[in-house]
Structure 1
Amino acid sequence: MDSPHRYSQTEIDAVYRAIEERRDMRHFLPDPIDPALLQRLLHAAHHAPSVGYMQPWRFVRITDQKLRERIHQLVEQERIATAEALGKRQEEFMRLKVEGVLDCGELLVVSLMEQREKHIFGRRTLPQMDLASAACAIQNLWLAARAEGLGLGWVSLFDPDELARLLNIPEGAEPVAILCLGHVKEFYDKPMLEKENWAQRASLDELVFENQWANS
């Protein structure tokens, strides 16, 4: 039986389409993003669920070009360090385009708030739920951006302490993501890392268990 709260089929199809067509984008056009559109996307992010309603996300919009270039330097340093840590896959990794920091129309840094230890509702045994909540905000922004025709790429190649110092993030707060947001020529028809044969999507059947772990 259908729920009385169900959206129309057209609206449902749009939600699933955004989920299916969302991509972690690395290639961007330099066109600016309309300020009203950026505000809508941030509004969507801010309406994410959060454990204990703590709303731990903080967004730093990077508008200074020199600062953007310094952030790119941090990402490049970590890209090289990651390649070295990958051993046999080093050369393969270095051929991948892993960020669009200098190319995207908007650059955002997402950080967790300071003084998170005061928020124990839902976090007493699972303190990492602050990060899970911030990830929900990022996903909201991601899906809204896709619906609006914009691409977004999540960059995690950086030293959080170095980025915190660069952005004057207070002690106790923690940057968790660099988001490249902007117009794109086209969206990848598959996730980029799948297209590049870096990894393949696992079968859902392998990831869903019943009653016990790996219960067949």
Structure 2
Amino acid sequence: MSTPPLFDDAFRAQLATLFAWRRDVRHFRTDPLPDETVAALLETMALAPSVGNAQPWRIVRVRSPALREMLAAHVDAAVTVAGAAYDDARGPLYKGLKLHGLREAPLILAVFSDEAPSTGHGLGRATMPEALVYSTVMAVHTLWLAARAQGIGLGWVSILDPAAVAAMLDVPAQWALVGLLCLGLPADPAIEPELQRRGWQAREALHVVDR
């Protein structure tokens, strides 16, 4: 058996700092990310836990400028539609938010979850098939932390039509979109969430219920 590593107080303190600095980034520098850095991040992402060890995450790296612009235009249109719902005091706040970095971020990844993988042999998901998606979300979070540890920001774009994005990227029908991700060096790194800084939503106290 392997000997587990011992994580000391200094490591735990740095880990807590990493968690605190894991921010949803929208403002990116355009500096390219080295291919070896991206490859290492994806290898770390693949260490995420998954139900039945199914490893259902499927990744599309968007390299085509035309596809990138199609995605950006699609999200822009969705942002406009969503903004129409804010006809109250939040309207001006909403208009001031930058909700994606699809044109600036040097790396765009679309992460899908395979809803019928041959891997895992069905273990752990007979009564909770959504555990496949949960596994893919864990992979995204693993990527997020690994990127932040290298000074790389990640922004998760969710104002979109998953079916439309899947059609643009021409993926298999059993792949369900989990996240459209922008990665790159942050233009204005900050430990406080941007939505909190801009007055959209403060951090809530943790809710724990004992039974």
TM-based fold match above 0.5: yes
Per the alignment, residue 8 of structure 2 pairs with 8
Q: CA deviation at 1:185?
A: 3.3
- Secondary structure of the residue aligned to 2:154 is strand
Per the alignment, residue 202 of structure 2 pairs with 200
1:61 and 2:69 are equivalent in the alignment: no
Q: How many residues align?
A: 206
Whole-Å Cα distance in 1 between the matches of residues 21 and 103 of structure 2?
Answer: 24
One-letter amino acid matched to 1:162? A
Whole-Å Cα distance in 2 between the matches of residues 187 and 64 of structure 1?
Answer: 27
Whole-Å Cα distance in 2 between the matches of residues 18 and 137 of structure 1?
Answer: 17
What's the TM-score once normalised by structure 1's chain length? 0.89
Could you list the structure 1 runs, at least 4 aligned residues long, displaced by more than 3 angstroms after superposition. Answer: 116-120
One-letter amino acid matched to 2:8? S
Which sits farther off after the overlay, 116-125 or 163-172?
A: 116-125
Per the alignment, residue 105 of structure 2 pairs with 104
The question of whether the paired residues in 2 share the 8 Å contact of 1:114 and 1:170 is answered with: no
Q: CA deviation at 1:171?
A: 1.0
Give runs of aligned pairs for residues 113-124 of structure 1, distance below 5 A: 113-116=114-117, 120-124=122-126
What's the TM-score once normalised by structure 2's chain length? 0.91
- Secondary structure of the residue aligned to 1:85 is coil
Consecutive unaligned residues in structure 1, runs of 5 or more: 212-216
Q: CA deviation at 1:186?
A: 3.4
Per the alignment, residue 159 of structure 2 pairs with 157
Whole-Å Cα distance in 2 between the matches of residues 86 and 112 of structure 1?
Answer: 32
Distance 1:128 1:85, change over 3 A: farther
The question of whether the paired residues in 1 share the 8 Å contact of 2:20 and 2:191 is answered with: no
The question of whether the paired residues in 2 share the 8 Å contact of 1:193 and 1:199 is answered with: yes
* CA RMSD after TM alignment: 1.8
